[in-house]
Amino acid sequence: MDVLYFAWVRERIGIPREKVESSAKTVAELVEELRGREERYEVAFSDLSALRVAVDQELTDFDASLEGAREVAFFPPMTGG
């Protein structure tokens, strides 16, 4: 699946998007996998309360299933308007 990062999450991880091969069943499991990779991921995902997640461009939560998901995005709370 494609994993996308926006705003300071993108800056901390250092890339805007990447392909991730994962057997994670939920967003939370995917986060655990990413955190285990390298320190920059650990830093970006250290406080989940400061993050929001969208699966296939719909805002959801960390318990959400990744079944059939093509795109997962992580970002800070939005500041539109």
- Residues near another protein, by CB under 8 A: 4, 6-8, 54, 57-59, 73, 75-81
Tell me how far, at minimum, the Cβ of 30 lies from another protein, in Å. 18
Q: Which is nearer to another protein, 32 or 56 (CB)?
A: 56
Task: Closer to another protein by CB, 36 or 77: give it.
Answer: 77
Nearer to another protein, 36 or 81 (CB): 81
In 3D space, the residue among 15, 13, 14 whose CA is nearest the CA of residue 31 turns out to be: 13
Beta bridge partners of 59: 54
* Residue 74: closest CA among 32, 21, 24, 17: 17
